[in-house]
Structure 1
């Protein structure tokens, strides 16, 4: 009985401490939260850079079962850690950060020739794209343009979309996943840089057809739509990483929100702003969005609330909404920023931000890669760190 009382007392003390910390976190000015989060992220990411510096060609992917998991440039996430370093360099122009940003960016260069998947935009625009934006290094133009040409080979005019995957051909004729919306930014850049309108036409076609067939009446999106190659019409709509074919996989909704936000920025086409706002409303007003605005891995996961969250989806949403606030009315802008502030305060707290030197040197904890596949569940993920840094940088740069 004594032991039971001791344990209960310890639990109550822990709960009170957590409550006090949460209240203290809310009292800290938001700008201070952002500044401190960036400083902590720099320390952690430099540890990561040093860890992999001597491992030629390797890039961090996750930290699972107390073990480092890395990849070479072929993995779809290869451009994210270079992008993390570029965002840190944007906030602190130190020679050390610049050196590491260039080093890890160079490790991804061979992907400019990749034609067997749609992830070239992730690989190159997050790395070389940010590097070009911050340094003006003219050699990066060639890498990005070559990569855009490689990506464009995956476009079939009869279908009107860029093909995502080449495997599982018995089930999928021409699979397109919602994630693919993120890779169009590279094509839009290539069109501006080269003056070739074909890149933009491909991007616009993909974006428009995705609105037409990927989204449900409530503005949630399917993860995967497969099109028949003769008529260019959907023959299958399903999920690959979500809870069910008709569920709303959280990161998938975030990809769509982010994608149509930047599509509006790049084209000023009203339909893209309308689509971004519809997706934002679905996410923000969803009855299963937790109060701290860190979504469960799927909005329709049957185990809610006893199922993992996805910090990567939250970071993506925060980055997208921070930009989207600039394109909407004041009332909507305030609503979006309330969500962003809640997300960033939560992600910057000890619950989600790792202690320096722990978590495999990743910044954030508690992301979910592919829950149904039992892959990367409740672990740090390199793209969660990337979009977290992008959100923090956008917030810091806001007037």
Structure 2
């Protein structure tokens, strides 16, 4: 099943290289991807899909297109265009770092290290966190950390390994610790964001940006936590991170509907037309593969985790993918971007497509993606 899904996906990706040209897909509207000239936080996912396509198939067409995306990211870095947010890892881990890992291209390595420095500029000593969006004085976003940022910490861990500079690693560990303390609640659910006083660093309270309410559990955020803490464990060996990933995974599993694909928020009223978020379940599945890789055969949770991973991935392939839909631009239907803002609440999401492809390739052939070497 995984191989057939991958082969179908690779055909669509190659067709999309012709459709997209030098632009980058973001989210879709009525089945057509909205494209941008490398100005959004999601652009690295397209680059990552191309590198995965090349690793799996050996087809030079994927590599040449992937290389062009990295050159686009180089120009973005040189112009400082739209880099004032925490998503630097999503952009450069899956583009230039991927190129370094696949080709050992020194220019790509240097570009990725520059990206790590850009992310470090978001470090806020008062509060000890990486600010999600904007500048400290931003009236809406000043003092805000975000659970998504756990997936950007591998960029800092990698930079520390490459350079021997412990500043990157120390910042990543402190961010993971603050995320565990403030974003993960006592029942193992999660806040989307947490706000600190900009001047003093005092903890103010949890909130949401894309979830149902401030106190609800946004499913994509919970999935970021599962994968992000599992990766933090890989880089540090800290058992607290592994335990947190396991607890967040258990919460995710306990709140899934019968078909094992999450609603966009775990606390939203479950009605006939309530939106799913296939992208949250794709991230969760990819995170579960990483999490399970750290569990001993005798771990009491391993068997259940393996079963739920299988059920989730089978549901995505059989009921949410575009297998057999020749002209489809995306790989996964029924993703949700920003439901409360009525922004692409039920369509293709490029990050959903990326993580779906990543987990399929890891299951089929052990191609693990680019979060660590």
How would you bin the TM-score normalised by the shorter chain? over 0.9
Higher relative contact order (CA 8 A, sep 6+): 2
Greater helix percent: which structure?
A: 1
State which structure, 1 or 2, has the greater radius of gyration over its C-alpha atoms. Answer: 1
Q: How does 1:1-399 map to 2 (within 5 A)?
A: 33-53=1-21, 56=22, 58-112=23-77, 114=80, 115-166=83-134, 169-286=138-255, 289-330=256-297, 331-349=300-318, 351-359=320-328, 361-398=329-366
Give SS of 1:372's match: coil
State the Cα RMSD in Å. 1.8
C-alpha distance after superposition, 1:356-382 (max 9, x if no partner): 4333x2111110001001011110011
Give unpaired runs (5+ residues) of structure 1.
Answer: 1-32
Inter-partner Cα distance in structure 2 for 1:304 and 1:236: 30
| Conserved? CA contact 1:188–1:203, under 8 Å | yes
C-alpha distance after superposition, 1:37-89 (max 9, x if no partner): 11001001001111122xx4x10112213544112222000100010111111
| Cα shift at 1:305 | 4.8
Count of aligned pairs between the two proteins: 361
**TM-score (normalised: structure 2):** 0.92
Give unpaired runs (5+ residues) of structure 2.
Answer: 368-373
Moved more, 142-151 or 345-354: 345-354
Inter-partner Cα distance in structure 1 for 2:234 and 2:261: 26
C-alpha distance after superposition, 1:80-135 (max 9, x if no partner): 00101111112111112211221223222234465511111100001122222222
Give SS of 1:379's match: coil
